[in-house]
């Protein structure tokens, strides 16, 4: 029987995180495809276009993944692939293509466009069950039925060694859940999630839909995966890949309990929502060897908090930072400049909040109105999104501050809190993001 060969490629972008999404797609198709299947996962962060073209030469299918800033590279690669290997089937997926499907539907160099979570759709394509270009399938409700991300088809050591060089520890990521139950105005997750409804969910009740979208993995299985990965790759730090690891307090506590029970004994860090951080959670997390919480404080202005719909308040943030400090947890935070109500006054409030919570690590970004966020406008489509992101945003302004004023404030805050900037954020922010030349220099520096 002929072996089906599949290459999955993450488009170029500086990221020290392995592409868990493609690793999930890979493990799923390897598990369910009935014939012989070979999969390799490449990454434009490490692999040049030439290397990608050479390495995929025997593939039957090549799938590209990326967020909006990576869309131009996906399109460049698909063009190169069709020129070099006209019979190879090309597939585009991920947030970028899913949120702007029209960019791919008329592109003759893309054969299939996968919208939303892609495991089942990819399998359907390989099985020859897809007769149209746009593919979307009902997301898998039981996330425990998806095998662990495929760590055999990717060179994981390339990622681990960057962290080892930068931080002196062997780091990799683990996902404890999927989706998000919230709808912050600056995040595209809400829009991405509503694709599910189009993909087959019948219930139109947003609350219900959001609750369904958040799907926790079995803590026992997550921890078994951690132990396997710890032992196989000699991991000394885990970073949780979740949007937020604590939207469910019960799930978070169970996860910690399981880590203690199964004696993972490896430090870890995770994204935490500030509305749900309390003594018991911190105590359990520390017992489970948690060392870092990454908590977005966004702004010190109560009005901005209401406006961005995150469901957090300045008081919640103070409490979350205070309580985690009490337990010796290192607190990394992010401030988001430039939401519509931003002014010099609100930035001052943000500085006051930062000084109060006194985080160990901080990053400053400027709102990037990505497709899928509440701030997206069709006219932004004319912008070159490979040149824009939240670190060096040369387009966005608030009602009160121009883009130049926001950037000056960002630079001032970076300078003011320079002793607290995470190494990776320092690299990105000092070099400035956006523009292929700058991107090259960032990639060279990483
Ligand atoms: C975790 C995360 C990260 C991690 C990624 C970790 C990792 N291992 O890759 C880090 C911190 C590195 C990161 C970086 C970035 N991120 Co991010 N990130 C997220 C977050 C919180 C969760 C994404 C996730 O892991 N989902 C779970 C996985 C399983 O789902 P998935 O990635 O969507 O993949 C599924 C489908 O999309 C599909 N699929 C994906 N690719 C392909 C390809 C094929 C061929 C197929 C068939 C299917 C398919 O199948 C996958 C499995 O179901 C989301 C917000 C959110 N709550 O969703 C933002 C989000 C995705 N990020 C976003 C952005 C913009 C970025 C950056 C560009 C930011 C920056 N300027 O640096 C970079 C890009 C990095 C990169 N190289 O891709 C935006 C995307 C918006 C948009 N319009 O594109 C989001 C939505 C946040 C926001 N601001 O709105 N991110
Ligand atoms: S910012 Fe975090 S909490 Fe808000 S919608 Fe995005 S992933 Fe969910």
CA of 137 to the centre of ligand 1 (A): 18
- Residues 229, 92, single domain; the answer is no
Highest mean predicted confidence (pLDDT) among 115-129, 174-188, 422-436: 115-129
% of the chain beyond a pLDDT of 90? 76
- Taking the C-alpha atoms of residue 125 and residue 128, their distance in angstroms, rounded to an integer, is 5
- Residue 85 sits in a domain whose CATH number is 3.40.50.2300
- Test site for ligand 2: of 99, 175, 181, 183, most ligand atoms within 8 A of the Cβ: 183
- Structural domain contains residue 161: no
Average pLDDT on 277-290 reads 98
- Structural domain contains residue 152: no
- Residues 82, 141, single domain; the answer is yes
- Residues 344, 392, single domain; the answer is yes
Domain that holds residue 111: 3-145
- Taking the C-alpha atoms of residue 57 and residue 50, their distance in angstroms, rounded to an integer, is 11
- Structural domain contains residue 155: no
- Structural domain contains residue 353: yes
Ligand 2 atom nearest residue 243's Cα: 7
Query: What pLDDT, on the 0 to 100 scale, is given for residue 128?
Result: 96
**Mean pLDDT across the chain, nearest whole number?**
90
Kindly give, in sequence order, each residue whose CB lies less than 8 Å from that of residue 299, ignoring residues fewer than 6 positions away.
305, 308, 335, 336, 339, 342, 346, 349, 350, 353
Number of structural domains found in the chain: 2
Asked which of 51-60, 144-153, 386-395 is least confident by mean pLDDT, the reply is 386-395
Handedness of CA 392, 182, 306, 240 (dihedral sign): negative
- Taking the C-alpha atoms of residue 393 and residue 432, their distance in angstroms, rounded to an integer, is 9
Average pLDDT on 188-192 reads 78
Average pLDDT on 164-170 reads 91
- Structural domain contains residue 158: no
- Residues 182, 132, single domain; the answer is no
CA of 183 to the centre of ligand 2 (A): 6
- In order, the DSSP letters of 135-159 are E-----S-GGGSPPP--SSS-THHH
How confident is the model over 193-238, as pLDDT tens digits? 655 444 443 434 444 455 457 889 999 999 999 999 999 999 999 9
- Residues 215, 352, single domain; the answer is yes
- Structural domain contains residue 150: no
Asked which of 36-40, 201-205, 263-267 is least confident by mean pLDDT, the reply is 201-205
Tokens found for residue 180: 């998000």
Average pLDDT on 334-344 reads 96
Last residue of a domain, one of 94, 128, 145: 145
**Quick check: 287 pLDDT over 60?**
yes
**Quick check: 103 pLDDT over 60?**
yes
- Do residues 22 and 65 make contact, with C-beta atoms less than 8 angstroms apart? yes
Among 285, 188, 189, 186, smallest CA distance to 245 is for 285
Last residue of a domain, one of 145, 165, 199: 145
- Residues 193, 94, single domain; the answer is no
- Do residues 123 and 26 make contact, with C-beta atoms less than 8 angstroms apart? no
Our answer on whether the CB atom of 371 is closer than 6 Å to any ligand 1 atom is: yes
- Structural domain contains residue 163: no
Q: Which ligand is nearest to the CA of 188?
A: 1
- Residue 432 sits in a domain whose CATH number is 3.80.30.20
């Amino acid at each position: 029987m002929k072996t089906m060969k599949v290459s999955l490629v993450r488009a170029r972008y500086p990221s020290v995180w392995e592409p868990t999404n493609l690793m999930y797609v890979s493990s799923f198709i390897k598990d369910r495809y009935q014939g012989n299947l070979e999969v390799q996962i490449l990454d434009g962060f490490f692999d040049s276009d030439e290397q990608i073209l050479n390495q995929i030469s025997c593939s039957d299918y090549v799938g590209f993944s990326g967020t909006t800033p990576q869309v131009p590279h996906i399109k460049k690669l698909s063009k190169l692939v069709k020129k070099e290997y006209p019979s190879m089937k090309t597939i585009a997926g991920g947030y970028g293509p899913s949120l702007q499907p029209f960019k791919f539907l008329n592109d003759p160099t893309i054969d299939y466009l996968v919208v939303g979570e892609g495991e089942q759709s990819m399998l359907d394509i390989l099985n020859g069950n897809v007769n149209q270009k746009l593919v979307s399938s009902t997301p898998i409700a039981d996330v425990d039925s998806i095998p662990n991300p495929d760590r055999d088809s990717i060179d994981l050591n390339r990622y681990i060694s960057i962290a080892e060089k930068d931080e002196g520890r062997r780091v990799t990521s683990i996902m404890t859940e999927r989706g998000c139950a919230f709808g912050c105005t600056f995040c595209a997750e809400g829009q991405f999630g509503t694709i599910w409804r189009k993909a087959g969910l019948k219930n139109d009740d947003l609350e219900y839909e959001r609750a369904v979208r958040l799907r926790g993995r079995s803590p026992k299985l997550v921890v078994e995966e951690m132990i396997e990965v710890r032992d196989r790759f000699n991991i000394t730090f885990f970073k949780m890949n979740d949007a937020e690891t604590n939207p469910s307090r019960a799930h978070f506590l169970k996860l910690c309990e399981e880590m203690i029970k199964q004696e993972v004994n490896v430090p870890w860090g995770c994204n935490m929502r500030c509305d749900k951080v309390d003594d018991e959670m911190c105590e359990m997390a520390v017992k489970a060897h948690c060392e870092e919480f990454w908590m977005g404080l966004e702004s010190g202005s109560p009005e901005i908090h209401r406006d961005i719909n995150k469901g957090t308040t300045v008081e919640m943030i103070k409490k979350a930072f205070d309580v985690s400090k009490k337990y010796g947890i290192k607190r990394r935070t992010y401030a988001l400049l430039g939401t519509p109500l931003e002014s010099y006054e609100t930035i001052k409030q943000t500085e006051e909040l930062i000084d109060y919570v006194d985080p160990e690590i901080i990053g400053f970004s400027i709102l990037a109105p990505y497709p899928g966020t509440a701030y997206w406008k069709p006219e932004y489509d004319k912008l070159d999104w490979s040149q824009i992101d939240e670190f060096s945003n040369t387009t966005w302004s608030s009602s009160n501050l121009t883009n130049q004023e926001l950037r000056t404030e960002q630079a001032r805050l970076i300078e003011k809190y320079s002793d607290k900037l995470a190494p990776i954020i320092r690299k990105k922010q000092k070099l400035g993001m956006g523009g292929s030349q700058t991107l090259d220099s960032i990639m060279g520096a990483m």
